[in-house]
Amino acid sequence: MNTDALDALRARYGEQLSTAAPVLEAHGRDESHPTIHPPHAVLFAHSEADVVDALRLAVTHGFPVTPFAVGSSLEGQVIPVHGGLSLDVSGMNRVLSIEPGGFQATVQPGVTYPELNRQTRSHGLFFPVDPGAEASLGGMASTNASGTAAVRYGTTRDNVLELRVALMDGTVIRAGSRARKTSAGYDLKHLFIGAEGTLGVITELTVRLWPLPAHVTVVRGTFATVQAAAACAVAIMSAALQPERLELIDEHGIRAVNAYEGTAYPEVPTLWIELAAASGGALDDAVAACTDLCRDAGALHVDTARSAAERAALWAARHHAYPAMKALHPTHARLSTDVCVPLHRLPDVLAASRERCDAAGLDATFLGHVGDGNFHVLFHAAPDDAATWATVNDVYDHMISLALDAGGTCSGEHGVGLHKRTHLAREHGDSLHVMRGVKALLDPRGLLNPGKILP
């Protein structure tokens, strides 16, 4: 970024613009990467007009713009690898309206999903997508984040009704509709969801809210192997129990959680199955059916956590699995994979992946949103342990091949960002020319979050 550009930004934004070293450094990384690529400047946007003007200045002066909110992306999405401006929308954090009877809320992109849920709870409603960090809704839409509740409520994509998006041509468009369904013209909304800020900058979202479930419980089943646990997950989905959540955590993950949380869960592969119903009687029926299915699938032990406190502790533990693993190996670097396969292929892909890890002698933790066929393997090793990292990358490549061969995807929920561009080429090589055409249409000079998604 040249002096003219910086001067123009300073003239327009005054103290909203920062070039202080700690600010630049904080905007030069996300949750994925040890390397820091600081931007040349950070703009703390307060309004849509701030965003529109930043894009206009970027075009005038030819500098890159990388949108940023809380920085919790997992594939390097918010890292400004080509420098330029980090466009921080975390200050655009107002809930603009909540329409309980319309099951919707309109928010600025910097609103976090926990904050939205604090405000909707008194209406008996919630926004169900929970990726597990204090993620912003703009960021969640940009990566199509999901998490534990997607098995019942879908991903962020499925829960965005309407977007306002600032484009590089200086316009702001509205995509989608606040109506629950629409067949009016080309669906531009879904083009911006998951585009990781490479096609436009989301300035407002209307999202779908759902009724808080009335009666909830969690069934826990322990199993001898991850494969047996995955087979049980398939059986539960096939029985149409419609779990709210259906999570697998392997013995390594439980061990890390126990160490981190001071809990004493049995350190074996475990399914956590949250069930909900409109009446207590219906819930009892569901718990009985689920318990039978776990036993039929060879569960070592099945029990039930009915109290709200006990359930909250369980999900807190699940959401802390990643920091728990970090805490267990504080000096290690980490890599989290994120494949997703059609459900009937989950047990064999999971088993083959586990075998490969074991054969390679890797200390790998398996956990996942297995009701969706989505699982993560968390690898870790000393940053300078080149031999182990080479093995990790081999195993990772093999896992992606297994997933793609099974009709699955290289990214269930983390997105592509910096790190999965070559995997995207393996998965969607036949349509990359169309993706490039879309990028050229909306960002002809390649200034929006350059270096991401497209290989």
- Residues 147, 134: contact at Cβ < 8 Å? no
Give the residue with the Cβ less far from its own copies, 103 or 389.
103
Min dist. Cβ of residue 19 to its own copies (A): 33
Q: Which helix (H) or strand (E) holds 246?
A: strand 245-249
Q: Report CA-CA distances (Å) from 325 to 17, 261, 330, 337, 351.
A: 36, 11, 8, 14, 22
**Residue in 115, 158, 261, 363 binding its own copies, rule: CB under 8 A:** 158
Q: Residue 125: CB partners within 8 Å, gap ≥ 6?
A: 98, 100, 103, 209, 210, 211, 212
Measured from the CB atom, is 2 or 97 closer to its own copies?
97
The correct pick among 93, 144, 336, 449 for binding its own copies (CB under 8 A) is 144
* 49 touches its own copies by CB under 8 A: no
Closest distance of CB 176 from its own copies, Å: 9
Give the integer Cα–Cα distance in Å for 103 and 120. 10
Q: How many helices (H) and strands (E) does the chain have?
A: 16, 19
Please report whether residue 441 would count as binding its own copies according to CB under 8 A: yes
Site for its own copies in 250-279 (CB under 8 A): 277-279
> Is the Cβ of residue 313 or residue 454 nearer to its own copies in the bound state?
454
- Footprint of its own copies on residues 183-212 (CB under 8 A)? 183-191, 193-195, 199, 211
Binding mask 381-420 for its own copies (x = CB under 8 A): ----------------------x---xxxxxxxxxx---x
Stretch that binds its own copies, among 27-35, 137-145, 264-272, 384-392 (CB under 8 A): 137-145
The whole-angstrom separation of Cα 308 and Cα 420 is 38
Minimum distance from CB of 434 to its own copies (Å)? 6
Long-range own/partner contacts, residues 49-54 (CB < 8 A, 24 or more apart):
50/13, 50/16, 51/87, 51/89, 51/166, 51/201, 51/203, 52/166, 52/170, 52/172, 53/12, 54/9, 54/85, 54/87
**Beta-sheet pairing, 301-305 with 201-208:** unpaired
Spatial CA neighbour of 170 closest among 55, 67, 63: 55
Helix (H) or strand (E) holding 304: strand 301-305
- Asked if 422 is part of the footprint of its own copies (rule: CB under 8 A), the reply reads no
Question: If you search the block for the tokens 């909900």, which residue do you land on?
Answer: 276
Could you give the CA distance from residue 415 to residue 431 in angstroms, rounded to a whole number? 17
Window 71-100: residues binding its own copies (CB under 8 A): 99-100
Q: Which of 342, 358, 422, 445 binds its own copies (CB under 8 A)?
A: 342
Binding to its own copies by CB under 8 A, coded x per residue (else -) over 302-341, reads: --------------------------------------xx
- Amino acid in position 399: M
Closest contact distance (angstroms) between CB of 228 and its own copies is 16
- Please choose, out of 60-68, 85-93, 148-156, 247-255, the segment that lies near its own copies by the rule CB under 8 A: 148-156
Q: Supply the DSSP symbol for 430.
A: G
Footprint of its own copies on 215-254 (CB under 8 A): 234, 237-241
Among 103, 323, 333, 335, interactor with its own copies by CB under 8 A: 103
Length of the chain (residues): 455
Nearer to its own copies, 261 or 285 (CB): 285
Figure out which of the listed residues 22, 34, 181, 331 binds its own copies, where binding follows CB under 8 A.
Answer: 181
Among 270, 374, 388, 449, binds its own copies (CB under 8 A): 374
User: What minimum distance in Å lies between the beta carbon of 275 and its own copies?
Assistant: 11
Give CA–CA dist 414/426, Å, rounded: 17
